[in-house]
Amino acid sequence: MKRIALMTSGGDAPGMNACVRAIVKTALHYDIIPVGIYDGFQGMIEKRGFEMTYQDVDNIIYRGGTILGTARSAEFRTLEGRKKAIEYLQELKIDGLIVVGGDGTFSGATELGHEMNIPIIGIPGTIDNDIFGTDHTIGFDTALNTVVEAIDKIRDTASSHHRVFFIEVMGRDAGFIALYAALASGAESVLIPEELTNIESLVQEIRTHNTGRRSSIVIVAEGDDGGGAKEILDKVKPFLPEFDLRHSVLGHIQRGGNPSALDRIIATRMGSYAVELLMKGESNVMVGVYGENLNTCSIDQGIKEHASPELSKLELLKKLRTQ
């Protein structure tokens, strides 16, 4: 390994900068030249890369977002687009590529790796925590803490006004943020994509939970089959005319902010390990964390199984329902 490229792609996640920092510092430690690619695959197509130094990653570990930028690229999905990307990597004499992102990023990197025959290492960076092969993805813990803090504040006004709040959080295909936030905030109900929503049952839950209480919080993942927070509120409203119902959509506030200590540590360990894997000749694998240990699985497996409901998640849901 003489020269490696690195990029962030897909949705931004707190901790990506910490990961970039670790990749660059580890590469330089081993006398490998790290080449940062701006704005993901689109930047690769447009030949926007630069050799990174220690100064480029100085004091970025605490910053949210990604200094390399990120963008979705329709052009990269075409054979002609990938050909431009491959030509640029060949022009830069790149020996290996590290990509930080979610399943869409991994899919694109896998295609690129097969067509160019270049070693690829994937690092899971997404607030949704929906990548197979790792306990935590970069950004999940920070987003979760942001959500819980917001719910706590909404609970204050909900209690003051005797209201039932439906709070919508991110999670188009997976309910990790919704479920863990519901547990951490003491929410009365949670709706996630992995389970079908029963409005009649939800109405009964709200009635039961409000016996002798001043408020209720219902967490709704944006990808729930029943709709978002506003849609769920509209569906239960006819059955609860005596209740003061409100909804709140947290939106992109969940993506921003300084990464938590856990995300910084996970990102740093994953980034450094990814460089070492390339040096060992590994390819087409994803770095994950299992307990306190780093592990790997094939990128194909991470993509293929990411949408499968996990037993641990359903077990958590059962615990929540019995609170």
Q: Quick one: pLDDT at residue 299? A: 86
Flag whether 45 is in a domain: yes
Candidate list 128, 130, 141, 263, residue with the active-site label: 128
Cβ neighbors of 265 (< 8 A, separation 6 or more) are none
Flag whether 170 is in a domain: yes
Flag whether 67 is in a domain: yes
d(CA 224, CA 197): 7
Same domain assignment for residues 118 and 264: yes
Same domain assignment for residues 18 and 130: yes
Same domain assignment for residues 237 and 113: no
DSSP, res 258: P
Q: Above 50 in pLDDT, residue 308?
A: no
Q: Quick one: pLDDT at residue 213? A: 65
Query: Whose CA is closest to 221, among 249, 256, 202, 244?
Result: 249
Cβ neighbors of 323 (< 8 A, separation 6 or more) are 186
Which tens digit of pLDDT belongs to each residue from 84-117? 999 999 999 999 999 999 888 888 888 888 888 8
Same domain assignment for residues 113 and 146: no
Percentage with pLDDT > 70 across the chain: 93
Same domain assignment for residues 129 and 159: no
State the residue range of the domain holding 52: 3-139+259-306
Query: Which CATH number goes with the domain that contains 60?
Result: 3.40.50.450
Among 255, 272, 290, give the residue marking a domain's end.
255
Same domain assignment for residues 236 and 204: yes
Flag whether 123 is in a domain: yes
Flag whether 215 is in a domain: yes
Q: Verify whether residue 128 is a known catalytic residue.
A: yes
Same domain assignment for residues 296 and 191: no
What does pTM read for this prediction?
A: 0.89
Q: Domain count for the chain, please give it.
A: 2
Query: Whose CA is closest to 99, among 73, 81, 62?
Result: 73
Confidence of residue 242 (pLDDT cuts 50, 70, 90): confident
Same domain assignment for residues 236 and 126: no
Same domain assignment for residues 230 and 263: no
Strand order through the sheet with 163-169: 189-191, 216-221, 163-169, 244-249
Same domain assignment for residues 54 and 13: yes
Under a CB-based contact definition with an 8 Å cutoff, are residues 122 and 286 in contact? yes
Confidence of residue 307 (pLDDT cuts 50, 70, 90): very low
Same domain assignment for residues 187 and 97: no
Same domain assignment for residues 30 and 153: no
Residue 286 half-sphere exposure, CB side, CA atoms within 13 Å? 33
Query: Which CATH number goes with the domain that contains 155?
Result: 3.40.50.460
Flag whether 318 is in a domain: no
Strands 216-221 and 244-249: unpaired
Mean pLDDT to the nearest integer, 233-247: 90
Question: In which element (H, E) is residue 290 found?
Answer: strand 285-290
Question: In which element (H, E) is residue 216 found?
Answer: strand 216-221
